Amino acid sequence: MTTFYDFGLHHSIVRALGSMGFEEATAIQVQTVPVALQGKDLIGQAQTGTGKTAAFGIPLVERLDEQSGNIQGVVLTPTRELAVQVAEEINKIAQFKNISALPIYGGQDITRQIKALKKRPQIIVATPGRFMDHMRRRTIRLDAIEIVVLDEADEMLNMGFIDDIKEILQEVPDQRQTLLFSATMPRAIQEIAQQFMNDPTMISVKAKEVTVPNIEQQYMEVAEKQKFDVLCRLLDIHSPELAIVFGRTKRRVDELSEALTKRGYGAEGIHGDLNQAKRDSVLRKFKEGTIEVLVATDVAARGLDISGVTHVFNFDIPQDSESYVHRIGRTGRAGKTGQSITFVTPREIDHLRLIERATNRRMERRSVPSMNEALEGQQRMAVEKLLEASGRDNLAEYKTLAEQLLEDVDSVTLVSAALKMLTKEPNTTPVHLTEESPLRVSKKKFPPKGKGGQGSGFGGKRPFRPRSGGGEYRGGGEYRPRSGEYRPKSGESRPRSGESSGRTYNKQR
């Protein structure tokens, strides 16, 4: 076991890490922190949830000069949510040092950002596009930058930021340290390493270290038109404290969150088309438990660090193993157990096997629950509520009423009535969801058994993507192959020509 004392860090950093609840360093931290502290360039191949933010945040806070009012460190991230999250964690690590990190991202008033920059933070955490804006305005000075971190480099590549990254790296001082973190190493990322890094040390976290063994991973084979009713039954059976439901597209997220609300669940959606104020509002409600279900696209949920998520539902199967590991990594954190359930249509079974092979983990097949099982789940919850209430001390004023009721009604009937009132019976309100085309994968694209292969996220050369006809990134965080797998755009009220028609879910669950 390696502790943070073993790294020889400043006592203020060790103290901060202790206050954050960090005791033992993770695998990626054990390998990267000593190298980064020596000022060497490094490439860390690791997934979200392995502790990589602290892996570069600790060296940043340790090595930078707290007496200087210049920007000395820059962290580039693919999304605004991740920028905010990374800045928050760095500030926690630096809470007992005079060092601060400022998040800079698109969608926020740039005048407000310029004002914040005048407070002279030592570290900037930014999305590439907004960082470029400040470079052009000369509101960020680059001459004192000593360390540059590229976080989730492959995701920035997928989102079309590669040219911005190259321009930023050309502008910052040559005499700097560069730390690059990426789940996969596609050719474009390798070229950046060769062009802009100085003899980098390569560090990789193996597959077995990122498949999160404390998460129970299951799948259900479900027809597209049955998915929503099955999701509702599962929510009734498990009654999760906090759950995240992943949808493939922005339209899917909008329709799902609206449909869940109609069925009586506290749900809201988050995706790339929402403005920052709305996104912040939804996340705040979810963290506070005001809503129980967060419906999200992959990119919108990237970088979220919300404690207490008990369940992840993959309403649409993720397009690759990296997305799968990222999704399920939202639960099972801080030593707690979590559960993930993936819906798979019959035509997507091959795609599921690809993900299993890439992650070296078989998912447990579960049968589709019945409506009676959903009702039984809610009845169990009612019993638990009643037992919990009976153990409280503030019942004296109700005992007289109870005694009066028992004079007219027998005790079994009375308790039965109380349980019925507490039980949330299955809701069959009709809802509308537009069908999504299934993900299909050619068997020749499967990686060799036992070797990860392309798309494994653990040493493969590039991430798997459905490629019937090629694809392109069209903004907002959604990857859409030209063949039509991700055709719907946000706000469409009906399918376009060639798409499946919408379905109305009005069957009993």
The pLDDT assigned to 212 comes to: 60
The pLDDT assigned to 206 comes to: 62
Q: Can you read off the two tokens belonging to residue 77?
A: 């991230």
Fold (CATH) for 4-205: Rossmann fold (3.40.50)
User: What tens digit of pLDDT does each residue of 432-466 get?
Assistant: 888 888 776 544 344 444 443 333 333 333 343 43
The pLDDT assigned to 171 comes to: 94
Per-domain residue ranges of the chain? 4-205, 215-369+429-505, 371-422
The pLDDT assigned to 468 comes to: 36
The pLDDT assigned to 465 comes to: 40
The pLDDT assigned to 132 comes to: 94
The pLDDT assigned to 239 comes to: 86
Superfamily name and number for 215-369+429-505: P-loop containing nucleotide triphosphate hydrolases (3.40.50.300)
Segments of the chain with pLDDT less than 50: 207-210, 442-509
The pLDDT assigned to 454 comes to: 35
Distance CA 405, CA 138 (A): 77
Which pTM value belongs to this model? Answer: 0.55
3-state secondary structure 52-76: HHHHHHHHHHHHCCCCCCCCCEEEE
User: What tens digit of pLDDT does each residue of 302-335 get?
Assistant: 656 677 899 999 999 987 776 788 788 888 776 6
Max intra-chain CA distance, the chain:
87
Distance CA 107, CA 111 (A): 12
DSSP state of 471: E
CA-closest candidate to residue 212, choices 33, 360, 89, 350: 360
User: Is there a shared CATH topology between the 4-205 domain and the 215-369+429-505 domain?
Assistant: yes
The pLDDT assigned to 71 comes to: 95
DSSP state of 24: B
